[in-house]
Each structure stands twice: as structure tokens, then as C-alpha cells.
Amino acid sequence: MSQFPDFTAHGYQIQRELGHNFAGGRVTYLARDLKGDRCVTLKQFQFARATAQWSAYQAHEREIAVLQQLDHPGIPRYLDSFATPSGFCLVQDYKPARSLAVPRSFDPEQIEQLVTRLLDILVYLQRRDPPVIHRDIKPENVLVDDRLRVYLVDFGFARFGMGEVAMSSMVKGTLGFMPPEQMLNRELTLASDLYGVGATTICLLTRTPSTAIADLLDEDYRIQFADRLPDISESWRQWLAKLVKPNPGDRFADALGARTALESISIVRTPQVQLQPQELALSANTIGQSLQATISVKNIVSKTRFVGRWQVRSHRSDTPLLPTASGAAHPWIRITPEELCSNRIDCQIEVDTALLQAGRTYERLLVLHGNGIPAEIEVSLSVRTAPIPAIGRQLPYTSLFGLWVACVTSAIVALPTVASPIAIALGGFVTWAGLSKLMQSKALWMRFLVTAGATGCLAAIAGFTLGTIAGATVAGAFATAISLASTMVTGGALLWTATGVKRDFGARWAAGLSLLSALSGMAVGIGLKWAAWPPLLLLGIAVTTLPVVAVGISLPIARAFRLARYRRSQQHLIGF
């Protein structure tokens, strides 16, 4: 004869017992629905037992009222209820899952998955209007099947909405898993059930039976667990500690907030990598130069080991050329070592600019993939290739214009004193010829400045003296001195300009272009001084100016054509 009660009159046949709480007068069975031919969970409340309490009947009614309004895959669906001679029965969907109170081994990643799914159920409950507060989340009320699907059961203590707990129900819940506000008859919030989630998770991670959770509580009802989780990441421990804060205001505001925060952290102690530097800027001085740099990789999390791999992010202009064991090598960037398995290492970056176009700036991203946080770290690489080689000759335009302005000014200042325009030109040329030897000296600037300054002073003194001896007035003597000094300035400008032209054009072109510029300036200065422009003067301006202008215009055009040809010759190289 079967030891199980007979409920066939109600359409259910008991198959086996799933669990019991004799003190509370409650037994749970696996039964078969004779009408629907399916397995169901049948929970029997035996109110007639001497140890049973009438509050159990109230919990039964409350659970039915809550379950009838819920529809979530993580909550067994309410099917039926009926009275029995000794109490009441509640029928729900059967889930082939065991409670977390049954000893089982879960790795940290599985526990993280279970907690995430439990929070998803709470998010559903808290989005109800009014929200549903479970009030008794503990390992016994969380079922997990072999595929890690999570189910929340036992809504006997659940209530709709928030607010203060009634005095008669103040002790409803399980010590160690009830938040302090529930124990102290204070207002419940959406953060109240998070406490039970945190306490349940702590039991799983520390392998503490739910009946022994008191071993983790201190005298202030705080759960102490951090020292028992050495292999759990610090960010995850902080997240878990926030769930079980005694003050509900210190917890996450609701299940959704806790769920969102969990997405960005990992439960396993994870390497955290720092790179130095995170930006590289390299410049080449010569065509085809090989450039090197170093990136230091450091894992700052103890008891972990960083494993990673370098990669150059693909670019439309780069085509992999050399096959390697890990894939195709980058055509002009090489990172050594490419594979990393160390907590501290210096990686060498080598850039081959022989494959790159001259006078370009190349921007690339080096990416370090690994098992750390973050999973990818980017290093920006900027490579400036060597300037384009000199293409054609180039005039010192600034020096030529400065010489022209100096000659215009000198002609205006010197006329009509003892120094004529011809004297100015000849004096300047003689100055250039006399000082040209100094330009070969290593101390070019110092010797030039000292010599030009001393010569100018001596010329001014000599001009003043000669003007006085000749019987000129003091004003005339000063005019003579200024005239000779302007001659020296013109000569210095001529020297400076001719030296610059000589570098690319040689001595003959230097003398010709410099003297033509000087004569053009003096002719313009004469015209300005006389306030007249006779045809002969205009012809002189044209004859001296047009050759210099023609050369100045033709050179950039020729240079542009040569540059275009050079760029075409680089088309086989990698674009920027």
C-alpha cells in the first residue's frame, strides 16, 4: 500500500516526495496530472498537524494570489489548488531542478551566470505594477537544473508593493538572508531582495551551507566574506559587498541596476595591463631608415598571468606580405615578441620606412589582445617619413627681396650726397668680394656680423672725416657718413644673398642674380627719390628685374613637375 496521500479524486497521482518541512506542516511531491498527462509539483499544506501554524495557511493564500499574476519562465506557473481534509494543496509546473541548498560544485563563471539569471527574474518582478517583493530569497528557494536554468520558488512571504512590514509578519523570512529593514519592521524597497541575492551568492562562493550562514555574520549583522574569496576579482567582490550593505540606500537601487553593473566586470581575478607609452611618434631623417621604439607591458594584478597577442589594425593601404605562424605579417611594422605570456615585458617596435613614401605621415593602431581588462588596448603609432630629396634648385626668395629693399632704401638715403648710385653698387660688390673669404669659415655668423659691423662703423667715421676736411657743413658730413654706411649695409645684404644663391646655383649665377636684384632696387630707389620715371630708368628697371622674376617663377614650376614625377615613381610604395 502506498505511503503517499491519494489525490486521484482531484486528478493527481503522487509519484515521489521532493521535500518536506514537517515543522511547518508542508510536504512537496512530484505528481502526475491525470488529465493533462504531465508532471507537476504538488505542495501540500497540512494545517491540522499539531506543529503546523495558521500563518502557513495565510502564506498559502498569499502565494496563490501572487502566482496567479506572474508569467515568467523562471517562475513555476500556478496550475491549480484544492482543499484536503487536513489542509490545502497548491499545484505548479514541475521543473527538474534542485535547490541551491543541495551541495553541488559550481565554478565562478557558472555562479556568475546563475546570479545574472536570478537578477533577471527580480527585474521582471520589480517591473510589475505594483512591484512584487519576494522577501525570502535563499538557496532553498532558488532551483537550478543541469543546464543552469534558474527558477525562483516559494512566494509564501511575497507581497505586492513596498512599505513597512506589518508587525505580525515581521519575523517572516530567514535569518541571515533577510535584510535588516525587514527584520526591524522598516520600509521595504526594491533593494530589499538584493540582500538575499547577495547572501545566497556568498554561500555559493564560500561553499557555506545556508544553515551555517551565521558563521559569516559579525556582531553588527554584517556578512564578512572578502577573505574567503582570494580567487575572485576585486571588482566583483565590491559588487557583491554592495548587495549586502545593511543600509538599503547603500545598495543598488534595484535589480536592474545590479544587473547592469554586473555586465562590465568579471568574477574571475583578471590581469590588468598597463602600457607605456600609449602613443608613439617616430620620424625618419633619411630615405629607407629603420625606426625603433619600445612599449613596456605590465600586469599590475598579483596572482594572475597575462597572455596576449599584438596585432596591427588593418588599414586600406596595407597588404600583408609575409605569412607567419599566427597569420600574415604586417608589411612594414614588426612587433617583437608578437605573442606575450608574461606580467612584465618590453616589446620592440620596428618600422621599415623603405616601403613608405617620402614626406608622408602614416597613422596606424597597434592593438594588444589578451586575457586582461580591458580585453583590447590600443597604441597609436605616427610615422613621419624622411623629407623628399632636393628636387631642382631653389632661390632664397626672402634674401633676394631683402636685398632689393635694402638697395631701394640705400639709393633714397645716399642721393644726392658724395656717394652716387654707381658708388653704392660698386662699394657693395667690393664688400662682398672682400668678405667672401670669411664665408668659408666655420664661425660664419659671428665673423660676418663682426666684420660687417666694424666695417660700417669705420666707413661712417671716414665719411664724416672726409666731408669735414672737404669743407662741407656738419650736415653734409653726416650725410656723407650715412651714405657710406648705407653702402656697407647694401654690401652686407648683397653678400648674404649671393651666399644663399651660390649654394644651389654656383658663383656666376650668385653674382648675376644678386647684382641684378641690387641694381633693380637702386633704380627703383632713384625713381622714388627723383619722383620721376624717365624711359631710360624704366628700361633699366625692366632689364634688371625681369630676369630675376623669370627665374623666380620658373623654378617652382619646374620643381612641381619634378615632384609629380617623383611621386609617380613612388606609386609602388605603400600609401599613407
CATH number belonging to domain 273-384:
2.60.40.10
Most confident of 60-69, 325-334, 546-555: 546-555
Q: What share of the chain is helix, strand, coil (3-state, %, to 5)?
A: 45, 25, 35
CA distance linking residue 241 with residue 220, whole number of Å: 15
Q: Which grid cell sits at 101? A: 541548498
Share of the chain above pLDDT 70, in %: 79
User: Residue 409's pLDDT is what?
Assistant: 81
Q: What is the pLDDT of residues 129-167, one digit of tens each?
A: 899 999 999 999 999 999 999 999 988 888 887 655 444
Beta bridge partners of 297: 275, 345
User: Residue 320's pLDDT is what?
Assistant: 58
What torsion, rounded to 10 degrees, do the Cα atoms 158, 162, 165, 169 define?
Answer: -10
pLDDT tier for residue 464 given thresholds of 50, 70 and 90: very low
Check pLDDT > 50 for residue 169.
no
pLDDT tier for residue 244 given thresholds of 50, 70 and 90: very high
Neighbours of 320 (CB within 10 A): 13
User: Residue 32's pLDDT is what?
Assistant: 95
User: Residue 513's pLDDT is what?
Assistant: 83
Question: Left if phi > 0, otherwise alpha if psi is -120 to 50, otherwise beta: which for 228?
Answer: alpha
Q: Which grid cell sits at 192? A: 530589499
Q: Which residue reads 505548479 in cell numbers?
A: 92
User: Residue 441's pLDDT is what?
Assistant: 46
pTM score, two decimals? 0.54
CA distance linking residue 158 with residue 68, whole number of Å: 13
Mean pLDDT of 418-444: 47
Q: What is the pLDDT of residues 552-568, one digit of tens each?
A: 888 888 888 887 887 77
Q: Which of 156-170, 291-305, 324-338 has the lowest mean pLDDT?
A: 156-170
CA distance linking residue 566 with residue 576, whole number of Å: 16
Check pLDDT > 70 for residue 482.
no
Task: Write the single-letter amino acid at 307.
Answer: V
pLDDT tier for residue 267 given thresholds of 50, 70 and 90: confident
Check pLDDT > 70 for residue 325.
no
Q: Which grid cell sits at 519? A: 641694381
Instruction: Give exposure, 183-202, as e/b (b: 16+ Cβ within 10 Å).
Output: eeebebbbbbbbbbbbbbbb
pLDDT tier for residue 419 given thresholds of 50, 70 and 90: very low
Q: What is the pLDDT of residues 359-415, one digit of tens each?
A: 889 999 999 999 887 889 999 999 999 888 777 677 888 888 887 888 888 777 765
Between 454 and 510, the more confident residue is: 510
CA distance linking residue 454 with residue 389, whole number of Å: 40
CA distance linking residue 203 with residue 255, whole number of Å: 19
Topology classification of domain 99-263: Transferase(Phosphotransferase); domain 1 (1.10.510)
Share of the chain above pLDDT 90, in %: 38
Check pLDDT > 80 for residue 459.
no
Question: Helix (H, G, I), strand (E, B), or coil: what is residue 227?
Answer: helix
Mean of pLDDT over the chain:
81
Q: Which CATH architecture has domain 8-93?
A: 2-Layer Sandwich (3.30)
HSE (CB half, 13 Å, CA atoms) of 172? 23
Contact call for residues 339 and 326 (beta carbons, < 8 A): yes
CA distance linking residue 137 with residue 99, whole number of Å: 12
